[in-house]
Amino acid sequence: MPKANTKSGPTLKNFTPYQEKKGEEYMCSAQKDHFKKILNTWKQELAEEANRTMHHLQEEANNFADPNDRASQEEEFSLELRTRDRERKLTKKINETLERIEVDDYGYCDSCGIEIGIRRLEARPTATLCIDCKTLDEIKERSYGG
């Protein structure tokens, strides 16, 4: 399952990789359930981390007399808030991915339509492109100065 990492945000760790059965159809209900579980756990951990941040900001908010102490605290809070903003965007992406699972649109490349693959989805459950299309996308982005 996804595991919260204190400073760098949540990462996908500590889940049991899906064991495909011989002749099993791609994105069958068992596979969808596997990814729903990963995504929902990840989403829950993001919410818990956001809650911890909110409590930390409320409890640690001090009006230091020393300007250097105030600046350090403000910088720490700013970094935490930026991290939470990235995680908020990730939560939105997780919700969109869960919707894709519900409408049987999950696991297939948005660009070429082929299967993304179980292992790639376990590495990045919100992936919408197969590895080839993602690689091409990144090459195009670099060549256009993006």
pLDDT in the model for residue 12: 61
Give the CATH superfamily of 1-14+23-105. Answer: DksA, coiled-coil domain (1.20.120.910)
Please list the residue range(s) of the chain that carry CATH number 1.20.120.910: 1-14+23-105
Q: What pTM did the predictor assign?
A: 0.79
Q: What is the pLDDT of residues 19-59, one digit of tens each?
A: 999 999 999 999 999 999 999 999 999 999 888 888 777 77
H-type alpha helices, 7-145: 29-60, 67-102, 118-123, 131-143
pLDDT in the model for residue 146: 56
Low-confidence ranges of the chain (pLDDT < 70): 1-13, 146
Q: Which residues pair with 108 in a beta bridge?
A: 115
pLDDT in the model for residue 2: 43
